[in-house]
Structure 1
Amino acid sequence: MSNTVSAYDVAVIGAGSAGLQAAQTLGRMHQRTVVLGTDRYRNDPATHMHNFLGHDGEPPAELRAAARKDAEQYADVELRDIEVLSVTGKLGAFSLALADGGAVTARRVLLATGVRDTLPDVPGVSEEFGDLVAHCPFCHGHEFAGRRVGVIGTHAHLGMFVSMLLPITSDVVVLTGGEPLDAGAAEALDRLGIPVVADPMSGVRRTDDGLTVDLDGAPAVELGGLFVKTDWTQAVSFPADLGAEMSEVGAVVVDAFGRTSVPGVYAAGDLAAGPGLPMPMASVLAAASAGLLAAAACVQDAAAARLT
């Protein structure tokens, strides 16, 4: 157990794409930075990531390994694989308690802690999630091109989601699992001519050609792939603990540069939503971009403070 307290210009919590890009940016600007992260990532279930310039189809772990190598070449960046238990303090004097009993202090804190997904309670969905079961058409839709695709859901935005899939797939079927369908979604699906299967689902299983969705009291549905809507929550309580403003959907509210409502606290990645966004843009590339912007804000704010 270590009780050493080390001081940094910026403490980055989270070592995914947002946190590692922030570290690289801060290192290049000679800001003494510590990145504190664990081995848990939102896209761990994904076999490959897509829609990322220069890295399309690459396993997420390979990108993280390359990003760590990039960040580590800067003398002012330190990466530590350790969990942060709490964050307290204010601008210029934040204190982070670590799982080994130690602590670090930092002038500023950049949260890149992400969110946690809760999947539909259908047997087999979690086992196939990240491959034949996905939640983002931008990340995984093309892989189901020309195939029959299912969408589990009843929510108000279902019509828009399905409409985005139509140019990609051969056809789409919506499965409600016995739950009532939102009235607006029902109208939109009817306009699009999308079949709706309302029977309860007993399970999802992989087949040689894709997936089979077994139903209670009705014939099974054969699919090439399946989309689900996940319910997400903040992975940690730090934003709320620090008093950061949160949106109606539970995202950290940030400005265009990742500044939260708390001086000295910044947020980047899936946990935060910027101006004009109803919710976070769940994308590895968007998270990395947000990490760069939040790091730039840290540098700019430190520079401005030296002028006062």
Structure 2
Amino acid sequence: MIHLTYEDVTAAARRVSGRVRPLVVAPADGDTWLALEMLQHTGTFKARGAANFVRAHWEAGTLPDAGVTIASGGNAGLACAWAAREQGVRATVFLPANAPAVKVGRLRAYDADVRLVGSEYAEAAEACRAFAEESGALASHAYDHPLIAAGAGTLMEELHQRLPALDTVVVAVGGGGLFAGVATAAHEHGVRVVAVEPEDCRALNAALAAGEVVDVPVASVAADSLGARRVTPLALYAAQEYDVCSVLVPDADIVRARQELWDEHRLAVEHAAGAALAGLRAYEPAEGERVAVVVCGANTDPGDLVPRA
């Protein structure tokens, strides 16, 4: 089975050094810390994978004049556009014609060539594939690529440097790019990983139960970030081979945890970050267990965060 190696992650760390923002770690309660990756470029950890992907191809001489292309109006699209601009190449991003204007505007602010196609993601993805074939542009992916996952794993490398005595890291899982990278590096450092998914977006949990990658239905308040229909083989391998605990959390707990991050820490974050914190509660660490929760994204509308009375 295909899998990441720790050497993949350390190579990524070398490539992205000085190109991404250093991880900020803040104490929470007792033996718990928050890894504030929502402060990263573009607001999420995905900048790490995108930077590694683009830089690796640049170093190998395989970054074409046509630049890179991706189908994503979300965090991956923003990260790809940012990384391409930083490397001085073109990014062409495909998304449905009904995509929110704010996302289109942010992509264009990163100098991306935005192509609006169809009314569904599948149509935009097909247009992206055709464009890559016709133009020679390098096709990227939101999470299903070893370079993307290895780049995400650099987060764990920095977390280990800041908290070398860490026992456990808690991370939300969507398609599995972040999880695969983090779990690979965590295994090297003897750190347990708690993989958190919404009850109705359980691609990794279902794959573990089946022993293979399977399709799952997607329905959650966190589906915009964690709504992958299937997890990557890289993520399944990591979950099967390393010290990983898979937990599921209901939407009500995700919403509550997201609100808690605002009430207690003044962090306005995506529901995916709320899922990670909710997963900590479901996992219930032992007394004295040193745990870090990855607060993974800030691209959210804070208007639904209710001020505490």
TMscore range, shorter length: 0.3 to 0.5
Instruction: Tell me the TM-score normalised to structure 1 length.
Output: 0.33
Comparing both structures, which one devotes a greater share of its residues to helix? 2
TM-score after normalising by structure 2 = 0.33
Larger radius of gyration: 1
